[in-house]
Amino acid sequence: MAKKKEPEKQGNEELFLALDLLEKEKGIPAEYMLDKIKKAISTACKNNYGNEDVDIDVDREKGVFNVYLRKEIVEEVEDPNRQYLLDKAKQVDPTACVGRFVRIKLDTKQFGRVAAQTARNIIRQGIRDSERGQMMEEFQSKHQELVSGLVERIDPRTGAISLRLGKAEAVLPKNEQIGGENVKEGDYIKVYVVDVRETEKGPKAIISRTHPDLVKRMFETEVPEIYDGTVEIKAVSREAGSRTKLAVMSNDPAVDAVGACIGARGSRVSEIVDELGGEKIDIVEYSEEPKQFIAAALSPANVLSVELAEDGSRSCRVTVPDNQLSLAIGNKGQNARLAAKLTGWKIDIKPESGFYGEEQ
């Protein structure tokens, strides 16, 4: 007939099994949790016995978890919580003498309901603190990076998307989503981690699909020449969901920066366009020479000339062929606006035959 396990030993085994489960499922180290449990027991002893001088012996291999209250050995007891009579102490430890301490083993059942609740609360708090710490670590490792997240839920009222990023969760608000994009639960989407903040409710990742650096990071991932530093992204301007302009330069005369970003038959840029739901992307050659850079930035329009303002202000007048005027300005002025953002110059565009609104 199988021998029944002592209740105390069985309880210890359950404790260690629970710790192992926490370690596997939540990634919380068992040693970290044991430390929290020890602190919880010290607090419980202080509350119940007025004595927080506690020794705890733990052996996970043998399933040992013993709690001892340390008391000073005295000839006459004045404080039973902290002192122990010499005659009694000799029964526990024959070498006991006045002025030394004796360890009195506690039956964990003696802690009572309040002590157990105190311990449970501290353990729960320990789990929460550890999870917050791990989440903060995970978010910080992704700060200003491109990450792929699983769409877990879309709020029908606000349109906010709850994303699973590794072990952590983040919310993509409606105003950080690309307009008109059709996202469903179960989809994987790429987001840019703009910032990481510690809040009262725990760590929070500020994520976006509209940030210009999202496109920048996508090109870094897709184009090996950018990743290894041969090609450099000098500037990005973007109106999410509609159009992005990217200025690139090559640090190797043998490498064509624009060509590297476009890829063979447009393979590299088309990957990014697909991920962004068809957003148009203009890739232009960066130049330290403002006239060249401004002309390139107005792509796909051809530019005849660029006149920089003589007063030193960052403004210029650009002349384009008459039939290219609407292309240079773009739909609702978008092409000119993005070119201005990309270059940092105020751009006035006029047709070859004369400037709009100019006195004849």
Say yes or no: 236 and 348 in one domain. Answer: no
- Provide the CATH number for the domain around residue 32: 3.30.1480.10
What are the strands, taking DSSP E only, across 86-187?
101-106, 146-154, 161-165, 168-172
Q: Going by C-beta distance under 8 Å and a sequence separation of 6 or more, which residues neighbour residue 325?
A: 349, 351
Of 191, 208, 225, the one marking the end of a domain is 208
Say yes or no: 33 and 125 in one domain. Answer: yes
Say yes or no: 242 and 328 in one domain. Answer: no
Give residue 341's identity as a one-letter amino acid code.
Answer: K
Q: Decide if 325 contacts 292 (C-beta within 8 A).
A: no
What is d(CA 290, CA 197) in angstroms, rounded to the nearest whole number?
A: 38
Total number of domains constituting the chain: 4
What is d(CA 97, CA 90) in angstroms, rounded to the nearest whole number?
A: 8
- pLDDT score for 358: 45
What is d(CA 5, CA 9) in angstroms, rounded to the nearest whole number?
A: 7
- pLDDT score for 319: 96
- pLDDT score for 159: 93
- Provide the CATH number for the domain around residue 308: 3.30.300.20
Structural domain of residue 19, as residue ranges?
7-137
Of 208, 225, 257, the one marking the end of a domain is 208
pTM of the model: 0.65
What is d(CA 164, CA 95) in angstroms, rounded to the nearest whole number?
A: 60
For residue 107, give the DSSP letter.
P
- pLDDT score for 357: 47
- Domain assignment present for residue 67? The answer is yes
Q: What are φ and ψ of residue 234, in 5° steps? A: -95, -30
Say yes or no: 204 and 258 in one domain. Answer: no
**Which candidate, 220, 154, 216, 214, places its Cα nearest to that of 186?**
154
- Domain assignment present for residue 293? The answer is no
- Domain assignment present for residue 101? The answer is yes
- Domain assignment present for residue 192? The answer is yes
- pLDDT score for 53: 85
Burial of 47 (0-12, 13-18, 19+ CB in 10 A): middle
- Domain assignment present for residue 126? The answer is yes
What is d(CA 165, CA 148) in angstroms, rounded to the nearest whole number?
A: 7
Cis preceding linkage at 7, omega within 30? no
Say yes or no: 179 and 280 in one domain. Answer: no
- pLDDT score for 120: 66
Of 221, 255, 286, the one marking the end of a domain is 286
Say yes or no: 233 and 126 in one domain. Answer: no
Q: Label residues 157-194 b or e (16+ Cβ within 10 Å = b).
A: eeebbbbebeebbbbbeeebbbeeeebeeeeebbbbbb
Say yes or no: 318 and 334 in one domain. Answer: yes
- Provide the CATH number for the domain around residue 184: 2.40.50.140
User: What are the counts of helices (DSSP H) followed by strands (DSSP E) for the chain?
Assistant: 11, 15
Say yes or no: 170 and 203 in one domain. Answer: yes
Burial of 263 (0-12, 13-18, 19+ CB in 10 A): middle
Q: How far is CA 31 from CA 28, 43, 91, 125, in A?
A: 9, 19, 34, 16
- pLDDT score for 9: 57
Say yes or no: 193 and 231 in one domain. Answer: no
Which stretches of the chain drop beneath a pLDDT of 70? Answer: 1-15, 26, 108-120, 122-123, 126, 355-360
- pLDDT score for 262: 96
Q: How far is CA 226 from CA 250, 269, 316, 320, 347, in A?
A: 9, 13, 31, 32, 29
- Domain assignment present for residue 143? The answer is no
